Amino acid sequence: MTRQHEPPSSLRVLLAEDSAILRDGLAALLTRRGHTVTSVGDGAALEREVARLVREGSLPDVIVADIRMPPTFTDEGLRAVLGLRSRHPSLPVLLFSQYVETRYASRLLAGGAHGVGYLLKDRVADVRDFVDALVRVAGGATVLDPEVVSQLMGSARQDDHLERLSAREREVLGLMAQGRSNGAIADLLHLSYGAVEKNVAAIFTKLDLPQDAADHRRVLAVLRHLGV
């Protein structure tokens, strides 16, 4: 989606998950698909592993992290991710949580939405969907579960610019926030690709997003949509 690049066919994945069953299961399914996985069980171990990799001159292609991990099972995973993103802004991160935590998602997105994902464990029914999301995040996309988008919208501050959008433009913007490409949006809404492009262009214009912005306008539009 935004600032995307072609990720390597074999990703180096750093997985932070306290549930041994889920951690081993995710590692096994990703390994079967040709990816290399390093696993840790808490936020502190996640930070130590990244520090070790930095000393060796490398970073993982993508981090998958739960939000609630030991010792308090509140926000250890998120705080570790936020710290890592502040030190390594281009480091792709996919939060894989059982809960929708709007304040956490807002904090993560506010630090830059490139290469950020947030999926809910109970809603990922297809392994291919999870792997596809992981690859897209590794390539720089923003991928958010529709329920995360919905709850972020519900808690967002009012933005007068959004009132300028038509119902169709809001629908398109909501799908953009889920990480959908223009082609995917066209298929989902039964529109032509050109019609989607016109809606996207209208969104950028109505939200007064500058053409020379350092961040891509697609991400800026999504952040505006989510009230971040």
The pLDDT confidence band at residue 64, using thresholds 50, 70 and 90, is very high
CB 17 within 8 A of CB 67: no
The CATH number covering residue 201 comes to: 1.10.10.10
Residue 185 lies in a domain: yes
Its domain, for residue 211, covers 156-226
Residue 122 sits in the same domain as residue 191 = no
The strand ranges marked E within the chain are: 12-16, 36-40, 62-65, 93-97, 116-120, 142-144
Residue 1 lies in a domain: no
19-61 residue pLDDT tens: 999 999 999 999 999 999 999 999 999 999 999 999 999 999 9
Residue 183 lies in a domain: yes
Residue 126 lies in a domain: yes
